[in-house]
Chains A and B, each alone.
Chain A
Amino acid sequence: MRLKVDGVSKEFGGTRVLAGASLSVADGELAAVLGPSGCGKTTLLRIVAGFESADAGTVAIGGVDVTGLPPERRRIGIVPQEAALFPHLTVARNVAFGLPRGGRRDERVAECLNLVGLSGYGERMPHELSGGQQQRVALARALAPRPGVVLLDEPFNALDRSLRVSVREDVRDALKKADATAVLVTHDQEEAMSMADTVAVMREGLIVQKGDPASVYAAPHDLGVATFVGEAVVLDASAERGVASCALGSLPLRSGGGGGRGRVAVRPEQFVVTPPEAGVAGLVERVEFFGHDAALTVALDNGVVIRARTRGDVPHRPGDRVGVGVEGPVLFFEL
C-alpha cells in the first residue's frame, strides 16, 4: 500500500469530525474520497498532508509511519482548491519550488510542464494564466518532486463548468502518465466516478464503502451510499425469496437472501417506458431533453412519482398516458 490511513479521529472544539476513518490506496492508484460537505473529507486530507494532527490513528506513506512528521517531511504533493500558485514567482519557479537546487532542475520543470500541456509557459506569471491553466500548473508543481502521494482538494471547484470536464481529463492523464498515487477529495459524484480508479464514500467522519466506481454504484453498502453515488427512486417494499413487492410491482433483487420490510432503490436507467397497459400506468408530467438522452417524470396512478432515463428521441409529451416497467434486478435495503 502506498498510503494507509488507520483509524484516524479528530475533534474540533468538541465536535467530532473524524470518527476512526481508515483508507488504503495502492501504488499508482487514483482514489476519490467522495462525501457531502461537512463529512470530514477535507480534514482527512489535511491530516494526511500533516497540516492537522490526528487525535488518534496513524498515517503511513510508502510503508513509513508519518503520523508525527511535519508536512515538509512527508513527501506529499498538494493541489488545493484555487491552485494557490506562489503569486510572486514565475510558472517555472513555481514548479521548481519543491525541487532540490542544482542538478537537473530545469529539465524536470520542462518535463512536468509538458506533462500538463503547458510547455513554453514557464516565464509567465501566475496572474497571466486562466483558471484552468493555473490548476494545471499547480498539478505540475505538486508532481515535480515525485511525491509519494498527490492530494487534490476539490481542485476543479473554482473552474467554470465548461472547463471542468477538460481540465479533469488533463489532470487524470497527467497523473496516470506520471504513475502517481493520488487522493482526490470531492463532493461531486460525477467527478469521482469519472476520474477515479477507486471511490471511497465518506459520511459522518467514516469511510463507509470503498471500491471501483462501477461496483460502488451497482452494489452500494446502504441506502445512503446508494442515493449519494447516483440518482434513484426509493420505494417502500417488502422482500421475500429474492423478490421485492412495491408500488412498481414485484421486482427481482440484485442480492438474494434479504427479507422482510425495507426499501428498494431503482436507478433511472432501469426504467422502461411502455404503452399504458404494458406496465404500471401513469401520466407524463415533464420531459427534460439533454440531447444524447432525456428524462421523463411520470406520476403513476398509484401516487408514486418516478424519473426515468430514456433515449433522446423521446416521442412523449406532458399529459400523455404511458406505462412504466423496470429492467434488471433492483437494490433492496432492509429497514
Chain B
Amino acid sequence: MLLVPAVFAALVSLLPIVYLVVRAAEGGLGVVAETLWRARTLELAVRSLGLAAVVTLLCVVIGVSLAWLVVRTDLPGRRVFGVLAALPLAVPSYVAAYTWVAALPDLSGFWGSVMVLTLVSYPYVYLPAAAALARLDPAMEEVALSLGRGRMSVVLRQLRPSVAAGGLLVAMYVLAEFGAVAIMRFDVFTTQIYTSYRAGFDRTPAAVLGLLLVVVTSAIVVAEARSRGRASYATRGAPARRRRVVALRPAARVAGLAWSTSVAVAAVGFPFAAICYWLLDGASAELRPAELFSAFGATLSMSAAGALVSTALAVPVGVIAARHRGRTASFLEQSTYVGHALPGIVIALSLVFFGVRYAYPLYQRWPMLVLAYAVLFLPAAVGAVRASVLQAPPVVEEVARSLGRGPLAVMREVTLPLALPGVLAGGALVFLTAMKELPATLLLRPTGMETLATRLWTETGSGAYGAAAPYAALLMLVAAVPGFVLGHRSTREDA
C-alpha cells in the first residue's frame, strides 16, 4: 500500500540523475573520461571531501556537546541555550558568509569556509542528538557508571544513529554547497560544476561532475546506513521515566556557559547583529513595503507548500525505512538523498528539462518550484519521519491490527498520530530550509515572482547592501519561527 507512493517519491528524487545521465551521455565517452581524469577534478573532489569531513566533525562536536549541556545538565539558562542552538538554521549560509567576510576580510579559504559552514549547519546534528539524549534510558547511564565506565561511553553509543544521520545531512549539505564557499573564495567541487554552466555554457562536463558527486555521496549514504547497522532502536512501550540531570561542578558550569555562549554569539548573534547594522547603515535606501510584503508572501507560501509536499512524500518512504529492512527499503530511502547531494542548479535544470518536456502546463508555475523544494529537501523530512516512526512501537500497531484496522487505518489512527510531532518537526525543517533556497528558486519560480531570497540576491548583486538588509532581516526572522519551535522542542522534558 505504502509502496506505490514511496516508489513515486523515489522516482521523483531520481529525476535529476536521469537528467545528468542524458546530458553526460551526449558528450560521449571521450568527454566523460576527459572530465574525470582532469587533475583539477581530483584535486577539487579531495578539497570538497576534506571540507565536508572537517565541517561534519566540528558539527558533531558542537552539536553533541550543546545537546548534552542542554538536555542532561543543570546548566543555567539551558532552555534558552536550547532554543538558540537551533536558530542558526534561520541564517542562510550566503548571508553568514557575507557578514563574516565583511567583518573580517582576512577570513577566507578553507578555514573561513569551515567556520561559516559549521556555524550554519551544526543544528542538523544538535537537534537529533538532543532528541536522542532526551529519550535515552537513564538506567543505562547508571549501569555504565556502576561498571566503572564513563558516562559518555554509553551515551555516545546510544547517540550514534541520530548523530550519524545528522552528520550525513551536514556532509551532503557541505558537498552540495556553493554560495558560502564562493564568497570565501574557496574552490570546491561544486565550483567546477557552476563554472561549467556559467562560464562554459557546457552541460556535459557539468553533468559528469554532478554524477561523480552523486557517486561520492551515495558511498557516504551507504556507509551511514551500515553504521546504523542491524541494531533495533525502536522503543518498547514502557512508560517514560523522568530524565535525570547531571549537576555540573562550578568550573564545568563556567566552561559550559562560556562554550554555549560563544557558539550562540558566533552562530546567531553575529549574523543577526550584522543584519541590524546593514539595516541602520542602509536606512537611507528606500524601503518598498509592497515588494517586501509580496516577497514575504511568496516565500511563506512556496516554502509551506514545499514543506507540505516534502512531508507527504516523506511519510511513505520514512515509514517503510523505519519498519522494513532489506534492499527495497534502503534503496527507496537512499534514493531520496539524491536531491540533497546535488547543487541547486543541477536540480533546477533537471526540472527544467523534465518540466518542459512532460509537464509543460506546470512549467514556470508554482507547482514546479514546490516540487523542486520537495526534491531538494526530502531527506530531512524522510529522516524525521523515520526517526519518529521508530518511536512508535511496532507492537502497538499490531494491537491495532488485531482490533480490526487495516494497514492504512493503523497508519492513520496510530502510527501517524504517534509520529506526528516528529513529522511536523521535519516539515518545519524543510519549511525554513526552503525559505533560504536560491538557485532553484531563480530558475523555476513563476516569471515575475520574487521571494525574499531572490530579492536578497538582486540587491546584493548590485551591491545595494542597505536595500538588501530588510529582506535578509525578514527572511531570518521568519525562518527563526520554525527554528524557535524546533529549538524549544529540543529542551522539552519528554521530547
Which residues of A approach B to under 8 Å, CB–CB?
A: 49-51, 70-78, 80-88, 97-98, 126-127, 131, 134, 138, 141-142, 145, 147, 151, 158
Contacts and interface: CB of A to CB of B under 8 A. Distances in A.
Nearest to B393: A84
A78 B401 CA distance: 10
B398 A145 contact: no
A251 to B, nearest CB: 49
B404 A80 contact: no
Contacts, number: 77
Interface stretch (B99-107, B172-180, B236-244, B264-272): B236-244
B418 interface: yes
A77 B81 CA distance: 47
B237 A82 contact: yes
Contacts of B462: none
Contact of B240 (A80, A127, A147): A127
A76 to B, nearest CB: 5
A74 B402 CA distance: 7
Given A127-B239, A127-B240, A158-B238, A84 B402 contact: no
Given A51-B398, A78-B399, A80-B398, A87 B404 contact: no
Given A81-B395, A141-B403, 17 more contacts: A50-B402, A71-B401, A72-B403, A72-B406, A73-B404, A77-B402, A78-B402, A82-B236, A82-B237, A82-B238, A84-B399, A86-B399, A88-B417, A126-B239, A142-B402, A145-B404, A158-B238
A206 to B, nearest CB: 25
A174 to B, nearest CB: 17
Of the listed residues A70, A78, A151, A158, the one surrounded by the most CB atoms of chain B closer than 10 A to its CB is A78
A141 B237 CA distance: 16
B177 to A, nearest CB: 39
B395 A82 contact: yes
B396 interface: yes
A92 to B, nearest CB: 14
Chain B, interface SS category: helix
B405 interface: yes
Contacts of B395: 80-82, 84
B58 to A, nearest CB: 37
Contacts of B240: 127
Interface of B: 236-240, 393, 395-396, 398-407, 409, 413-414, 417-418
A86 B238 contact: no
Nearest to B391: A87
A97 B406 contact: no
B396 A72 contact: no
17 contacts: A71-B398, A72-B402, A72-B405, A75-B404, A77-B402, A80-B237, A82-B236, A82-B237, A83-B237, A84-B237, A84-B393, A84-B395, A85-B237, A85-B396, A87-B237, A88-B417, A138-B399
- Kindly list the 7 A-B residue pairs having the minimum CB-CB distance in the complex, ordered from nearest: A98-B403, A71-B401, A78-B402, A82-B237, A84-B237, A84-B395, A84-B396
Contacts of B401: 50-51, 70-72
A309 B319 CA distance: 56
A145 B403 contact: yes
A72 B397 CA distance: 11
Contact of A70 (B393, B403, B406): B406
Nearest to A151: B402
Contacts of B402: 49-50, 71-72, 74, 76-78, 98, 142, 147, 151
Contacts of B239: 126-127, 131, 134
Contacts of B396: 84-87
A333 to B, nearest CB: 40
Contacts of B400: 86, 97
Contacts of B236: 82
A70 B398 CA distance: 11
Nearest to B418: A88
Q: Which of B237, B239, B396, B399 has the most CB of A within 10 A?
A: B399
A5 to B, nearest CB: 17
B371 to A, nearest CB: 32
A86 B405 contact: no
Contacts of B237: 80, 82-85, 87
B406 A87 contact: no
Contacts of B413: 97
A80 B417 CA distance: 21
A116 B19 CA distance: 63
A97 B403 contact: yes
Nearest to B236: A82
B189 to A, nearest CB: 42
A133 to B, nearest CB: 11
Nearest to A80: B395
Contacts of B398: 49, 51, 71, 78, 80, 84
Contacts of A49: 398, 402
A277 B3 CA distance: 79
Nearest to A147: B402
A115 B404 CA distance: 22
Nearest to B397: A84
A103 to B, nearest CB: 14
A123 B465 CA distance: 58
B128 to A, nearest CB: 21
A185 to B, nearest CB: 14
A88 B400 CA distance: 13
Nearest to B398: A51
A145 B407 CA distance: 19
A98 B404 contact: yes
Nearest to A97: B403
B391 to A, nearest CB: 10
A73 B414 CA distance: 18
Nearest to B414: A86
A293 to B, nearest CB: 35
Nearest to A85: B237
A254 to B, nearest CB: 42
A284 B424 CA distance: 69
Nearest to B239: A127
Nearest to B402: A78
